[in-house]
Amino acid sequence: MAEKSAGSAANVAHVTLTRALALGSRQPSIKDIARLARVSHPTVSRALQNSPLVSAETAARIRKIAEEQGYRASAVARGLVTRRTRTVGLIVTSVDDPFASEVACGVEEVASDRGYAVLLANSHADPERERRVVQELAERRVDGLVVTSSRVGALYLPLLKNLDVPIVLVNDQYPGEFVHSVTIANQEGMRAATDHLIGLGHRRIAYLGDSNGYRSDTERLAGFQEALADAGIDFERELAVEGDGRPEATMEAMNRLLRLKRPPTAVCCYNDMTALSVIRAVRAHGLRVPADVSVTGFDDLFFAAYLAPALTTVRHPMRRMGQMAMENLFKLMSGQESIAQIKVGAELIVRESTGKVPKRGRHHGQ
């Protein structure tokens, strides 16, 4: 009756032996277990699901045999009959993007807590590819879908019924609005950053954005302009420049700003990655941050606090957004009441990359 407790190598020999008794090489099926336990397979199914419809003794015996055989019910067979795979798809621009991976962490966390698995796919910020990936995940019959930084966004609306898969967007980048999404207070966040710079005496403040037409960029720029307007500062077009996501392009954009007749004394960057390159370009010009140029980021990625100078930036709860998206997706999947739009706050974190405006333009021979 009392078997040796698992874990020892000797015990493994035993398992292999009984396995050999049962069948050839393939994994045991529910019928194999049923045969060994001298019951019907539905009884095995019930026993393994702790159904009250099976007597304690037989249930115990069945479980023991299943254990010995290393039996694990096939999720694919179960999925076929239950029509639910307990799997969600997660589409990110790229897993190695710090923002995406934080969100992914949040999603995985609450999904796995509830016994759901996560199918991961990269869109590489390519709408074409994003669509294809959605189709592939639909083919795998995921129960739901989380898409971060989607560039398809509202264009999913026509497909939604056809697909029969609930979708929640995180940080939707499409101009139009999607049904279910978790978004960032982009405008408010960038406004706070700009206000901070204005408060430090800056008047010539640049915005270094992104040329890919992301909604977050549009909204952040709007917050920037709003702050200027409210402070009575004219928005000068030459101070709004764009990179394209590549460090080189960002540095080049920053170089253009620094070559201006009247260069800015501060730069609001679209995000932290942009700020990284901006700081680099500033230094390459022999200038200092923040003594000559103040710089702000957006996102508060984990390394922001470790930079020298530590980056003043706008924080939003990336991981929490992933959690919320997944929690909301669960509601959608179970047909419960769900929240359509969730907007998370963005908080200014003042560190060392911003400082008082220099007394006078000390660089470029001014």
Partner DNA sequence: TTGTAGGCGTTATCAT
Partner DNA sequence: ATGATAACGCCTACAA
Using CB under 7 A, which of 46, 180, 215, 316 touches DNA?
46
Q: How far is the CB of 135 from a copy of itself (least distance, A)?
A: 7
Task: Report the residue number, 259 or 343, with the smaller CB distance to a copy of itself.
Answer: 343
The footprint of a copy of itself on this chain (CB under 8 A) covers a number of residues equal to 85
Q: How far is the CB of 12 from DNA (least distance, A)?
A: 22
Selection from a copy of itself, DNA, none that 43 binds (CB < 5 to 8 A by kind) is DNA
Q: 311 near 305, Cβ under 8 Å?
A: yes
Selection from DNA, a copy of itself, none that 194 binds (CB < 5 to 8 A by kind) is none
3-state DSSP assignment of residue 360: coil
**Full DSSP string of 50-115:** T-TTS-HHHHHHHHHHHHHHT----HHHHHHHHS--SEEEEEES-TTSHHHHHHHHHHHHHHHHTT
Task: Report the residue number, 62 or 278, with the smaller CB distance to a copy of itself.
Answer: 278
64: contact with DNA by CB under 7 A: no
Q: How far is the CB of 204 from a copy of itself (least distance, A)?
A: 24
Cα 302-303-304 angle, rounded to 5 deg: 95
Stretch that binds a copy of itself, among 225-233, 253-261, 339-347, 355-363 (CB under 8 A): 339-347
Residue carrying structure tokens 């508060």: 300
Using CB under 8 A, which of 22, 110, 157, 240 touches a copy of itself?
157
Identify any residues that bridge with 205 across adjacent strands, giving them in sequence order: 266
23: contact with DNA by CB under 7 A: no
Gap between the Cα atoms of 187 and 182, Å rounded: 15
Using CB under 7 A, which of 18, 49, 135, 334 touches DNA?
49
163: contact with DNA by CB under 7 A: no
65: contact with DNA by CB under 7 A: no
Strands (E), 94-233: 117-122, 144-148, 167-170, 181-184, 205-210
Q: What values do phi and psi take at 25, rounded to 5?
A: -115, -20
CA 337 to chain centre: 23
Of the candidates 127, 145, 279, the residue with the CA atom closest to the CA atom of residue 214: 127
Of the candidates 66, 59, 63, 58, the residue with the CA atom closest to the CA atom of residue 15: 66
Gap between the Cα atoms of 320 and 328, Å rounded: 12
Q: How far is the CB of 295 from a copy of itself (least distance, A)?
A: 12
Selection from a copy of itself, DNA, none that 140 binds (CB < 5 to 8 A by kind) is a copy of itself
3-state DSSP assignment of residue 199: helix
- Where residue 356 falls (left for φ over 0; alpha for ψ -120 to 50; beta otherwise) is beta
52: contact with DNA by CB under 7 A: yes
Q: How far is the CB of 336 from DNA (least distance, A)?
A: 20
Stretch that binds DNA, among 81-89, 198-206, 216-224, 279-287 (CB under 7 A): 81-89
52: preceding bond cis by omega (within 30 degrees) = no
Selection from DNA, a copy of itself, none that 344 binds (CB < 5 to 8 A by kind) is a copy of itself
Q: How far is the CB of 363 from a copy of itself (least distance, A)?
A: 19
3-state DSSP assignment of residue 146: strand
Contact flags string 133-152 toward a copy of itself, x per CB under 8 A: --xxxxxxx-----------
Contact flags string 25-44 toward DNA, x per CB under 7 A: -xx-xxx------xxxxxx-
Contacts to a copy of itself from residues 184-213, by CB under 8 A: none
Task: Report the residue number, 82 or 135, with the smaller CB distance to DNA.
Answer: 82
3-state DSSP assignment of residue 134: helix
Q: Can you give the C-alpha Rg of the chain in angstroms?
A: 28
Task: Report the residue number, 56 or 76, with the smaller CB distance to a copy of itself.
Answer: 76
Give the residues lining the site for DNA (CB under 7 A).
26-27, 29-31, 38-43, 45-46, 48-49, 52-55, 58-59, 71-74, 77-78, 80-83
